[in-house]
Structure 1
Amino acid sequence: MKKFNFNQFKLKKVNIDDLDDRLLLINLYGTQGFILLVALIIFLFQKRNPLQLLAPHSWGAIAGWSILFAAAVLIVDMAITRWVPEEVTDDGGINDKLFGNRPLWHIAVISLFVSICEEMLFRGAIQEAWGAYWTSILFAAIHIRYLQHWLMTGLVFGISYGLGWIYVHTGTIWTPIAAHFIIDLTMGCILRFRREK
């Protein structure tokens, strides 16, 4: 029997400057599609219909909670940006490369796709089984680019926990989806227009 040689596979750190825009978008949409697939598989094992999560609710309450939560996150982020050294918040340039030259419509599409996929998995599927705390630990862990900085990892954990809290409080997945969308869209636009200046 022939042995499999694992030494032929080498993992190397990819430099963000080596990624072209096409490969970056393929990676983004591919990983988010995979996240949504995992969510659907978990729903299948939980014997839950994911479409029930998307049933309409009180849109005024959803908008109010989403906007308040997103505003709080953005205020904290602005404070961190103002008073914390840039190397502590460095994500390796991924967000800047992703949003820096993107048209506004595409920033909105990316933000919507990411918010739906991630919230369906983390709030809709995983939080149901693990609770908000452990779900937030996993959410922070998959944001690998922030793990080298404790402050950013803590911020991602806090955002995730807050999204889980507003999901439980409002009883609808639309609230964390909308809040996540507002945060990502705003941050994407800030990166886009900061580069223009």
Structure 2
Amino acid sequence: MKKIDIKKIKLRQVSVDQIDDKVLLINLYATQLLTLIIGIVWLLFQHRNPFRLLEFPAQSNFWMYGVGLTAVVIAVDVLISRFVPEQANDDGGINERLFRKRPVWHIVLISLVVAICEEMLFRGAMQQTFGPYWVSIIFAAIHVRYLRHWIPTGLVFSISYGLGWIYIQSGTLWAPILTHFLVDTVMGLIIRFRRYDEA
């Protein structure tokens, strides 16, 4: 059996332009699967049933929290994109690569997968342990692509805190899942259908 020399393994930073579409999607879905697994294991350690967490509530007013927070987030994002220079709001081009040429059905699918997996971990499991403030700091920190600029980092922290708040107020994980899904879908569709100036 051939041995692998760990000393010869070299890590190098790559830009989003150096990653092909297939690798980008594999990375996205693999990280979401890992997020979901960690969330489920965390819930089991808390002696909580992950399936019970996803039961629809008897009262259906949770959608008002979800849609309301979505409207606020999109309004703030539109204002930021209108008045803040693009370089101060740069995510390194990942969202652009992910959504610009993606079919609409795939944008919706990506948004749904991300919303369920991330909300299961962050709001469903971690918020029970750390509370919405510290979970929001962790949530902002894992969105590494935004950390170079304080405006998107602050926006991600604020959205996360809002998701934690509506989870508490509504009493169901479906409120933050709905917001997360709608925000990602709308932003993805904006990127997909935005007119680009051809230089």
Shorter-chain TM-score tier: over 0.9
What does 1:15-94 align with in structure 2 at a 5 Å threshold?
15-58=15-58, 60-94=60-94
Unaligned runs of 5+ in 1: none
What does 1:1-197 align with in structure 2 at a 5 Å threshold?
7-58=7-58, 60-195=60-195
Q: Which amino acid aligns with 1:88?
A: A
- Report the secondary structure of 1:68's partner residue: helix
1:6 deviates by 6.0
Cα RMSD for the two superposed structures: 1.6
In the aligned structure 2, how far is the partner of 1:176 from the partner of 1:104? 22
1:58 deviates by 4.7
Tell whether the 8 Å contact from 1:127 to 1:164 is kept in structure 2 after alignment: yes
In the aligned structure 1, how far is the partner of 2:182 from the partner of 2:154? 20
In the aligned structure 2, how far is the partner of 1:21 from the partner of 1:71? 31
Tell whether the 8 Å contact from 1:42 to 1:125 is kept in structure 2 after alignment: yes
1:47 deviates by 1.0
1:40 deviates by 0.9
Deviates more, 1:63-72 or 1:170-179: 63-72
Change (3 A) 1:101 1:196: farther
Deviates more, 1:187-196 or 1:56-65: 56-65
Structure 1 segments of 4+ aligned residues over 6 angstroms from their partners: none
Deviates more, 1:57-66 or 1:168-177: 57-66
In the aligned structure 1, how far is the partner of 2:195 from the partner of 2:28? 21
1:183 deviates by 0.1
In the aligned structure 1, how far is the partner of 2:59 from the partner of 2:185? 19
1:169 deviates by 0.4
Q: TM-score normalized by structure 2?
A: 0.93
Q: Which amino acid aligns with 2:149?
A: H
Q: Which amino acid aligns with 2:19?
A: L
Unaligned runs of 5+ in 2: none
